[in-house]
A and B are shown apart, each in its own frame.
Chain A
Amino acid sequence: MPRHRSSATLLKAVAALSALLGAPLPAQQLGFSAAMIEPSPGIRITGPGQLRVPITIRVRRGYHINSDKPNDPYLIPTRLSWPDVVPLRVESVIYPPAEEVKYDFSDKPLSVYSSRVEIMTTFLVESIPADMGELRGSFRFQACNDKACLPPKTLPVRVPVRR
């Protein structure tokens, strides 16, 4: 077996085992993300009114992301934003209650999310869009485990609009 193929196989195996064990990974080698957005089944816009759209985030085991209101001014809050959803309007983005967790690196408990996070957006539909294939948003977060942090990251959010 060629050497490079062995290394790739080894790396994949380590990645898979590490994922199972919830361990930190060599991020630069694997394009690692500590949080992922679950694919949305999509929405159907049937008429004017309110439209509630849940977005589910999975945070990798062993990691946390800051809540939408971190209790340290230096920390980067989690944000779900919908910059361009015309003709819909964003009425509210409701984040779930956060966990208060004390880490060894912090003097006081931090306000964080881990595991599964569901963020609910309520849109106001004033008119039915003629040609909207999907709602596009962005999800920004910053993740750490108890020993290290990853840089802030923004993931695209896509919600298919069904007819």
Chain B
Amino acid sequence: MQRTALLLAIVATAFALACGIGPMPDEGGDPAAAAQDSANPSIPEFSLRDLDGKTHTNADIEGKVVLLNFWATWCGPCKIEMPWFVDFQRKYKDRGFTVLAVSLDEDGWDPVREFAEKMEFNFPVLLGDDAVSDAFGGIMVLPTTLIVNQAGKIVFTHQGLVAKATYEEEIEVLLDVNATASL
């Protein structure tokens, strides 16, 4: 019986992978329930410079909902999401939200700066490296996007391109949790 269940699980997982659904550890469940999960991991310590030379650390995002996106200029699917993130920053900034975009370009600032100017980013663009990638558990797929709550816990993780509405729902859930708690 157990073997049959295991086989079914394998086939279901493989089918989901074949359909391009996974692997996305925190997807598929109830976003509101995920937001309350005490097992959500904390965001690692980071200290990264942005395009203007300003250093960003964990202290800068305390109490905020953060969409932390790992991307690169050579990553086509990443570029689809960027205009969405510009929208999110505009729409949610005043509610305690920010996007942080960490580029993993190996060639440094030149391509990133040019791309950021072209896309008119309205959020901090940071330059990461292997150490940052390792600190976050090894970023091996781009885009990888983490949605972090006000307590610095990683509530949602996405590897690969997902729907804009998925991000919006998750951001809204986390912002609403904070609004409810402060009543």
Range, interface on chain B: 20 to 34
Q: Which of A22-30, A92-100, A130-138 contacts B (4 or more CB under 8 A)?
A: A22-30
Q: Is A75 an interface residue (CB 8 A)?
A: yes
Cβ A142 vs Cβ B10 within 8 A: no
Asked if residues A150 and B111 are in contact (CB atoms below 8 Å), the reply is: no
Q: Tell me, yes or no, whether A13 is within 8 Å of chain B by CB.
A: yes
Cα separation A20 to B17 with both chains bound (whole Å): 11
B23 at the interface (CB under 8 A from A): yes
- SS class, residues of chain A in contact with chain B: loop
- The chain B residue with its CB closest to the CB of A103 is B76
> Interface size (A, Cβ < 8 Å)?
34
Pair B76/A106 contact, Cβ less than 8 Å: yes
State whether B14 touches A148 (Cβ < 8 A): no
- Which B residues are CB-close (under 8 A) to A17? 10-11, 13-14, 17
The docked-state distance in angstroms from the alpha carbon of A151 to that of B159 is 13
Any chain B CB within 8 A of the CB of A21? yes
**Distance between A33 CB and nearest chain B CB, rounded to angstroms:** 11
Interface residues of B in 150-183 (CB under 8 A from A): 159-161
B77 contacts the other chain (CB 8 A): yes
- If A18-B18, A142-B74 are given as contacts, then 13 extra A-B residue pairs at C-beta distance below 8 Å, sorted by A number, are A17-B17, A20-B14, A23-B20, A28-B137, A28-B140, A76-B74, A103-B76, A148-B142, A148-B160, A149-B72, A149-B78, A149-B142, A151-B72
Binding site for A on B (CB under 8 A): 6, 9-11, 13-15, 17-20, 23, 72-80, 104, 106, 111, 115, 137-138, 140-143, 159-161
**B-contacting residues of A (Cβ < 8 Å)?**
6, 10, 13-14, 17-18, 20-28, 32, 74-76, 103-106, 110, 142, 144-152
